[in-house]
């Protein structure tokens, strides 16, 4: 039996965490923290299949929050969990490097829809990770071939 995919939820709002916990708990292995410092520490300790990130936290705010995660863990771009509904803001966060987003109070109301959306984001994350691994193998092999060719 395959283990449940792991999700790190970084959100300081207990009501939002409770809502997500009730929607995701049976399908995902959910770890919850309430600050960016705790979230970054958890990301340093373990690899998560998906990171859900609220942008407004007691120790970080909006763009700075996303920037801190991407600076310390560029290989784990988070999914933004936000109450900001302005399309230009969401687009800017995606352009900065967020893997995806969902709007609190809208996209998280229906648990089945939320689970389906997160599964799509997980599939995307796994594909991106595999592509990155394949690119590393190709680059390493190319370097080895060039080195072997030049030394012979």
pLDDT band for position 86 (50/70/90)? confident
Reduced 3-state DSSP string for 4-66 = CCEEEEECCCHHHHHHHHHHHCCCCEEEEECCHHHHHHHHHHCCCCEEEEECEECCEECHHHH
Q: Kindly state the tokens that stand for 51.
A: 């990171």
- pLDDT for 148 equals 72
Question: Average pLDDT, stretch 52-76?
Answer: 89
CATH number at residue 69: 3.40.50.2300
Of 37-41, 52-56, 72-76, 143-147, the poorest mean pLDDT is in: 143-147
| CA 3 centroid distance within chain | 18
User: At residue 10, does pLDDT exceed 90?
Assistant: yes
Q: Which CA distances in Å does 59 have to 27, 35, 75, 80, 150? A: 30, 6, 22, 17, 52
Q: Which domain holds residue 54?
A: 6-151
Question: Average pLDDT, stretch 9-32?
Answer: 86
Would 1 be classed as within a structural domain? no
Percent of the chain residues past pLDDT 70, beyond the cut: 80
- pLDDT for 78 equals 92
Q: Please, what is the average pLDDT of the chain?
A: 82
* Number of domains present in the structure of the chain: 1
Across 39-53, 81-95, 103-117, the highest mean pLDDT is recorded for 39-53
User: At residue 108, does pLDDT exceed 60?
Assistant: no
Would 92 be classed as within a structural domain? yes
Q: Which CA distances in Å does 58 have to 8, 72, 113? A: 17, 19, 29
pLDDT band for position 136 (50/70/90)? confident
- pLDDT tens string 33-54: 999 999 999 999 999 988 999 9
- pLDDT for 37 equals 95
Would 53 be classed as within a structural domain? yes
């Amino acid at each position: 039996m395959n283990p449940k995919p792991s999700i790190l939820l970084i959100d300081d709002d207990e009501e939002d965490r409770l809502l997500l916990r009730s929607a995701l708990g049976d399908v995902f292995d959910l770890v919850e923290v309430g600050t960016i410092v705790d979230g970054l520490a958890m990301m340093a300790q373990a690899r998560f299949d998906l990171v859900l990130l609220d942008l407004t936290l007691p120790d970080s705010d909006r763009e700075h929050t996303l920037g801190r995660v991407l600076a310390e863990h560029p290989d784990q771009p988070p999914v933004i969990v936000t109450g900001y509904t302005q399309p230009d803001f969401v687009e800017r966060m995606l352009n900065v490097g967020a893997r995806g987003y969902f709007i609190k109070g809208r996209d998280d109301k229906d648990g089945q829809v939320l689970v389906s959306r997160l599964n799509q984001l997980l599939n995307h994350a796994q594909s991106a990770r595999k592509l990155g691994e394949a690119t590393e193998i190709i680059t390493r092999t190319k370097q080895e071939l060039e080195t072997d060719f030049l030394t012979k």
